[in-house]
Amino acid sequence: MGLYGVMRTGVSGMNAQSSKLGTVADNIANSNTTGYKKAESEFSSMVLAQSSGSYNSGGVQAHTVYSISDQGSMSFTTSKLDLGIDGNGFFVVADGDGTPVLTRAGSFVPDGEGYLLNTAGYYLQGYPIADGATPTTIANGLGGLESVNISQNQLDATATDSAKLWTNVPESATIVAPGDLPSANVATSTYSAKTSVVVYDNLGNELTLDVYYSKTTETAADSEWEVAIFNSEDAAAGGGFPYGSAALSTQTLTFDMTTGELTGASPTDINITVPNGGTFDIDLSGSTYLAADFTVTEVEANGNAPSAVDSVEFDDDGVLYAIYSNGDRRAIYQIPLADVASPDKLTPLSGNIYQVSTESGDVRVGFPGEGGLGDLVVGALEGSNVDLASELTSMIESQRSYTANSKVFKAGSDLLEELVNLVR
């Protein structure tokens, strides 16, 4: 082998340093690329079989490794659609054909049809949310995901299907005679207290419910109250009784005279059917009977009138909310994170994306902050993990090493030339 081996060793050294310079060039070029993970060249020696009396030079081989698991620094932005991951995991994105891949590049903007895509043109994937229910992930696969679309062009109207009305009824109220109770719906009907609650029917029409409270009995142990609910549209001219139709619902509450709270045997809600709407319960469980004025302590009713989407935003759990012009918030997607056992063994592709490989291990899917997955940072982007100072140092080292290897090649070439000249 001799001189030829020396020349081959010099060439292998130059090839290895050329490969290292290639990774340095890529790293420097992408030092400001969102979510970029640096590449590095590691060397391994190639040793030939040796014989006594002479040495057969081998060479060096370059292997490219990726620092995919190394966290980049976070920079905060003004966009609510920019997402960063603090910790383990990747966003799931897909190309135009729907092929899912992984990325850490979370700068998403809507296209002309409202689909969220990043700078490389890959579409963010998420689980659609139906009726507010938390979606179920496929733990070991990327099925069930779809491209996230923030364009909610249709007007939305939601009928009320749950409500809460907690009040304090006054202990000093007088008892109302049975024939004069609101449930009798006569001109002489009287009551102890009244309030109103707004709900919505199936078309988003706003309906006002008149709620009457009337003390019916009182003993040393308890006090009973009638709750009667009417549709305010049916009220008599000028308001009040008699209503044009019977009460939508009535209920009798029983309060404990010792605690002022509902007794264990008392109903805690009232069931009601809204005209052209749904049937639902109004929660009354927090009502009290104390020596104070009639007071509404807590009131809630879901549903909304027809409204258009005003904006969208993510929360830290990866849930994407549509914010309607009337202030209503509705969850429309939840964004999962995917991870593998060995992220550094993923296969990098153009566009800051990665494919699962046999060496990386199978994909595992979950939501941010669960099962070792990282936290989602809304309004932030993960920068490149390239250290420019280190890359410039590596470039100088490779340049010098390349020059040294070329000298080895030239020395072998010169000695071979001398050997050839011996025959002259």
Mean pLDDT on 396-406: 90
Q: Is the pLDDT of residue 261 over 80?
A: yes
Contact at 8 Å (CB) between 380 and 107? no
Identify which has the larger pLDDT, 135 or 193.
193
Residue 1: per-residue pLDDT: 54
Examine the pLDDT at 413 and tell me if it is beyond 90: no
pLDDT at residue 2 in the model: 66
In this predicted structure, the answer to whether residue 402 has a pLDDT above a threshold of 60 is yes
Confidence band for 130, pLDDT divided at 50, 70 and 90: confident
Other CB atoms within a 10 A radius of the CB of residue 393 amount to: 12
Give per-residue pLDDT as tens, 283-293. 999 999 999 99
- For residue 348, what pLDDT band results from cuts at 50, 70 and 90? very high
Mean pLDDT of all residues in 83-96: 95
Tokens of 84: 């960063």
Long-range contacts of 177-183 (CB under 8 A, 24+ apart): 178/216, 181/214, 181/216, 181/226, 181/228, 182/212, 182/214, 182/226, 182/228, 182/230, 182/241, 182/247, 183/226, 183/228, 183/247, 183/250
**pLDDT tens-digit series, residues 298-312:** 999 988 888 777 888
Task: Count CB neighbours of 190 within 10 A.
Answer: 15
Residue range 381-400: mean pLDDT, rounded: 93
Exposure string over 148-182, b if 16+ CB within 10 A, otherwise e: bbbebeeebbbbbbebbbbbbbbbebeebeeeebb
**pLDDT (mean) for 258-283:** 95
The three state secondary structure string of the chain is CHHHHHHHHHHHHHHHHHHHHHHHHHHHHCCCCCCCCCEEEEEEEECCCCECCECCCCEEEEEEEECCCCCCCEEECCCCCEEEEECCCEEEEECCCCCEEEECCCECEECCCCEEECCCCCEEEEEECCCCCCCCCCCCCCCCCEECECCCCCCEEECCCCEEEEEEEECCCCCCCHHHCHHHCCCCCCCCEEEEEEEECCCCCEEEEEEEEEEEEECCCEEEEEEEEEEHHHCCCCCCCCCCCCCCEEEEEEEECCCCEECCCCCCEEEEECCCCCEEEEECCCCEEECCCCEEEEEEECCEEEECEEEEEECCCCEEEEEECCCCEEEEEECCEEECCCHHHCEEECCCEEECCCCCCCCEEECCCCCCCCEEEECEEECCCCCHHHHHHHHHHHHHHHHHHHHHHHHHHHHHHHHHHCCC
Percent of the chain with pLDDT over 70: 97
Task: Look at the block and give the residue holding tokens 């966003």.
Answer: 91
pLDDT at 154 over 70: no
| Residues counted in the chain | 424
The average pLDDT across 190-218 equals: 95
Which has more pLDDT, 424 or 138? 138
pLDDT value at 234 more than 60: yes
Q: Given a cut of 80, is residue 388 above it in pLDDT? A: yes
Say whether pLDDT at 56 is over 80: no
The mean pLDDT value for 29-38 works out to 93
